[in-house]
Structure 1
Amino acid sequence: MNAKYHSAVFIDIDGTLVGRDSVIPESAAEAIVEAQREGFMIVLTTGRMYRSAVKEAARVNISADSPVISFNGAFVAASGDANDVIHYEPIGGALFKELVAALEKFERKDITIFCYNPFELFVDRENELLAEYVKRTGAKYNLADSFAGLGESPKVLALTGFETPELLLPFRDAIDKTFRGRLEYVNSFPNYLEITSAGVSKGLAIEKVAARFGIDASRTYAIGDSFNDVQMFRAAAVSIAMGNSDDAVKKQAAFVTKRLEEDGIYYAFKNFILK
């Protein structure tokens, strides 16, 4: 067992800890601080890029020596300074080139594509979707003439307007037809399709963090709200879905807490973790 932490709580960010207005309930920060005092390691586990996750961790006073899981598990750092990388699995090589070629061929007037390296966001156009994303996550971005020059990316994000998620369906079908079994793709929001290397998941990342820090699998907890959290639910000993989750996501969890804006994180800690 880890000398400092006896258990680990893996918490999604968007829709779980942070609302669409970027507000974090004060009660959530209080519960996290109390849990750390009692020996629980708090690990933000997100589809966001690493630096964005680190900023959110600081907002709720998560210890700087706690690990961070970003890009749905494609980039896992042992702490908030990224000097010690536990796991990194990007889409790379010929597969990345093939994916970029497919993205360039697809008619995507209403679909925006983001690519990344572990610390930076790259886009090939500026629009309202990008502006909303930057406002919500605080991410900085670089304009790229072509994504091919990146060589690899831990995640590719396809997004469309919040009111028109159905526009992603033909895109997802095209990706599925060409890359089934070679890439992972999951919706974090109805209008966000996140694409990673095959085998990448929050669940696998949980296992790697627990092994690295000597935390028994029976002492792991996961809190999330979306479909990219389901693998996390399956890996953790105790899984908790937010009250604002889709019903299909709730069915995958052992427990359901209140909605984010109704102090859902606080309720989860008090009723299912700190008991």
Structure 2
Amino acid sequence: MANNSKGFLLAVDIDGTLLTHDHRLLPQVREAVRHARRHGIQLALVSARSVNAVRTVLNMLGDVDHAICFGGALTMSMEGGALLMRPAAKRSHLCPADVAKVLAFARKYDLALAAYSADVARVPTPDDRMRQEFSQTQEPFEFAAVSAQDPVFKFLAISHAANADDLDRLGADLSPDLSAVRSHRTYLEIGPQGVSKGRALTDLAVDLGLDLENAVAVGDSNNDASMLRAVGHPVAMGDATTEIRQLAKLITATAAEGGVARAIDHFAKALWRIPPSRAEQEVKAGWVS
């Protein structure tokens, strides 16, 4: 399908980007996102969250055009008033041998672990770290055994704070068929190699006939890096990691300061040529040299 240079795609990470770090959606962010969609900008939420955890965000935000879940393993698109799911990668599940390897890996390094299927997250060993995670994301989970034969889109491993600096080294201990990316200081997202936010976003743009050189992507954590590399207009939140800030052409405010709303107002004028969502909004974000 030929690219349509007149179409625009806005890709937004959820936690620490669309939502504040205490999981609130600010009114000005909700209005800015809705304003962009009303003017024809296609919105894709791009997250490591599961399908159910993304749906809790939709309850706050309203409809979106697309949602990429599990860090790129599954894409949902709005069709006929409903979000329909489809795998976003040729290999979207972990193979049984890799599921077994991750389970052993978590036991070896005392990591809290959750295995995500399309409809539920399973936690093989009860742990307060996981209880806290799921209370924040408001998604269903169960304490249940995980089998190597289970269809797993991704694992979330959470370390103790004192061991957080070891996560990168621990991730390197996994199979070359696996991808391990930190989404938070103590969080390691584990999925099939080749599955990433950037890959899924690229495939989505091809399906839509949109040029990613005209796309905007906003993120704050290292698991957003592939997404920012994929687009022509990468944006970092004000408190983003060093890697994300270095990739960005625009650094906006923090999530608590409504950074996504400020970025949308910037591109409304600079790229999309649509009215600002709030008259005379002062955009404090600045281009990175």
**Interval of TM-score (by shorter of Structure 1 and Structure 2):** 0.7 to 0.9
CA contact (8 A) 2:112 2:158 kept: yes
CA contact (8 A) 2:205 2:211 kept: yes
1:201 to 196, 203, 221: 196
CA 228–209 in structure 1, closer or farther in 2 if over 3 Å, else same: same
Q: CA deviation at 1:55?
A: 2.1
Quick check: 1:174 aligned with 2:176?
A: no
1:265 to 248, 260, 263: 260
CA 98–264 in structure 1, closer or farther in 2 if over 3 Å, else same: closer
Moved more, 28-37 or 53-62: 53-62
Moved more, 102-111 or 256-265: 102-111
Residue by residue over 1:178-209, the C-alpha shift from the partner in whole angstroms, topping out at 9 and shown as x without a partner, is: x13x1111101111111111111111111111
Residue by residue over 1:72-100, the C-alpha shift from the partner in whole angstroms, topping out at 9 and shown as x without a partner, is: 1011122384534152532333xx32442
Q: CA deviation at 1:169?
A: 4.8
**Distance in 2, Cα, partners of 1:60 & 1:116:** 23
Which consecutive unaligned segments of at least 5 residues does structure 1 have? none
If the length of structure 1 is used for normalisation, what is the TM-score? Answer: 0.87
CA contact (8 A) 1:242 1:256 kept: yes
**Distance in 2, Cα, partners of 1:272 & 1:216:** 16
Q: CA deviation at 1:120?
A: 1.4
Q: Secondary structure at the match of 1:199?
A: coil
CA 86–101 in structure 1, closer or farther in 2 if over 3 Å, else same: closer
Aligned counterpart, 2:280:
none
CA contact (8 A) 1:78 1:86 kept: no
**Distance in 1, Cα, partners of 2:138 & 2:162:** 22
Aligned counterpart, 1:31:
32
Moved more, 79-88 or 36-45: 79-88
Residue by residue over 1:147-202, the C-alpha shift from the partner in whole angstroms, topping out at 9 and shown as x without a partner, is: 3241x311111112456523535532422xxx13x111110111111111111111
Quick check: 1:92 aligned with 2:94?
A: yes
CA contact (8 A) 1:35 1:274 kept: no
**Matched AA of 1:74:** A
Identity of aligned residues (%): 25
Aligned counterpart, 2:276:
none
Aligned counterpart, 1:192:
187
Question: How many pairs does the alignment contain?
Answer: 265
State how 1:112-151 maps to structure 2 within 5 Å: 112-150=112-150
**Distance in 1, Cα, partners of 2:137 & 2:106:** 27
Residue by residue over 1:55-80, the C-alpha shift from the partner in whole angstroms, topping out at 9 and shown as x without a partner, is: 213312234xx111001101112238
Which consecutive unaligned segments of at least 5 residues does structure 2 have? 271-289
**Distance in 2, Cα, partners of 1:129 & 1:258:** 29
**Distance in 2, Cα, partners of 1:263 & 1:235:** 24
Aligned counterpart, 1:68:
67
Q: Secondary structure at the match of 1:239?
A: strand
**Distance in 2, Cα, partners of 1:37 & 1:164:** 46
**Matched AA of 1:112:** A
**Distance in 1, Cα, partners of 2:106 & 2:49:** 24
